Amino acid sequence: MNITSGSDERLTAEQRAVWRAFDRAHASVARHLEADLMELHRLPLAWYEVLARLAEADGCRLRMSQLADMVMLSPSGLTRLVDRMIEAGLVCRIPAEKDGRGTYAALADAGQERLDEAVDTHERGVREYLIDSLGTAELARFAEFLRRIAD
């Protein structure tokens, strides 16, 4: 596999340090959120993210492909995760009305209840592990940087 970026230059030590700091920060926040959600609600972070995205969606449902993109999983990875969540009674699958091949993941009542129980824990964690470490101006700049990277 040949991956080219238009430049044969390797990262500088400073650029590599930025990448590693970003990677560590993301992993640290996710690890802490996961631990809190599991300890207090027996809810993995990935499950929380699926429930939250479905709750925010029109009709509390999303196409499986859209949901996979939103929670950054492969389609097959999301299918396996949703299968486990269906077994737990938190979500269900609904065939797409206009496209017989498409499928929606939809939030079940029990999923909304679990989300309602866990949302304060998640938001407290986001605040504690990320937001509170930044001042108001830093937070605005950080958000701008992240949007630029994501786009």
**Tens digits of pLDDT across the chain (151 residues):** 444 555 669 999 999 999 999 999 999 999 999 999 999 999 999 999 999 999 999 999 999 999 999 999 999 999 999 999 999 999 999 998 776 678 999 999 999 999 999 999 999 999 999 999 999 999 999 999 999 998 8
Residue 92 lies in a domain: yes
Q: Is 8 inside any structural domain?
A: no
- In angstroms, the CA 52 to CA 107 distance is 9
Whole-model pTM: value is 0.88
Residue 64 contacts residue 105 (beta carbons within 8 Å): yes
Query: Is there a domain that residue 7 lies in?
Result: no
Note whether residue 44 is domain-resident. yes
Number of compact structural domains in the chain? 1
> Is 4 contained in some domain?
no
Q: What sign does the CA torsion over 41, 45, 50, 53 have?
A: positive
**Maximum separation of any 2 CA atoms in the chain, in Å:** 53
Supply the range of the domain harboring residue 94.
18-150
- Cα of first residue to Cα of last residue in the chain, in angstroms, is 25
At 96, is the secondary structure helix, strand, or coil? coil
Domain harbouring 45, CATH code: 1.10.10.10
